[in-house]
Amino acid sequence: MPDTLATWVHIYLIPAIITMLLWGGLTVALMWLNRRGAGPARWSLLFTIPVLLLAHHQLWAVRHSTDATSIYVAFVAGMLIWAWHELAFYSGVITGPWRKPCPPHAKGWDRFCYALGTHLYHEVAVAVEAALLWWVFHDAVNVIGALTFVLLWALQHSAKLNVLLGVRSLDVAALPKHLHYLGSFWNQRALNAFFIPAMTVMIGVAIGLWVQVGLHVPHDHAIALTLLATLLTLGVLEHGLLVVPALAPHATVNKPPARADISHLNNYPD
């Protein structure tokens, strides 16, 4: 019984707690920096470049190690690299060529293209990062850091598409002031056609990862699977919050119409 408990703590509990602490801590840190304004966020981006470089160095250092410590080091490094790219976007440094509200006449494909224009440089930067990680680690044994980065990228894209197509719970006030124009691309509706397929895929992959964890116990490889499974499970929960009524008083929660009450952001300058 003691051995079973120790294995459960080692394989399931500790990785899950570390993932939740990192997820929550980095999210709170990004929100705090962005709420202080573009200036402090941009200075923070500059000052954290050494952290970005250190994270890449650590990924390289443990690329051929599969012990528990190396797995955690690679996972934390992957999270930090992603957080830096997120800070680069939300600080307004790496966004896109379109930095205005969505034009009122934009519908369908045009609206999607305008929305992509708000993120284009960020998307290119993330794609370059992903390509770099693949090139460096294509023959590595420990790829948990690269997988973490790609998984977070996929979760972000799913969330972006869902708020663009329409979800129930939207919170424009959560955006930093210098990015409030992004709210004009958001749509409010009970559900969109993309949400259920996206959730089905995420839940299916998450279940598959948790099953694989059980199959690889007690080996350290199971720790890497638990980290990814917990991360994806948190992503599923975050997506679920998009379709439940928001509790925050400042959140834009309306009964249909199709769009949230964010028309004040849709003043397209002549």
The CA–CA distances, whole Å, from 173 to 42, 52, 263 equal: 20, 29, 14
Question: Is residue 167 helix, strand or coil?
Answer: strand
Residues β-bridged to residue 167: 188
The CA–CA distances, whole Å, from 259 to 161, 186, 263, 267 equal: 15, 7, 9, 15
pLDDT means per 10 residues, the chain with 270 residues, are 74 94 93 83 91 95 93 97 94 91 89 93 96 90 95 95 90 81 88 93 97 87 95 95 66 40 44
Q: What is the rounded end-to-end Cα distance, in angstroms, of the chain?
A: 72
Query: Which pLDDT belongs to residue 146?
Result: 95
> Do 85 and 130 contact (CB within 8 A), yes or no?
no
Q: What is the pTM of this model?
A: 0.88
Q: List the one residue out of 83, 97, 259, 76 whose CA is nearest residue 167.
A: 259
d(CA 265, CA 242): 20
Query: Which pLDDT belongs to residue 246?
Result: 55
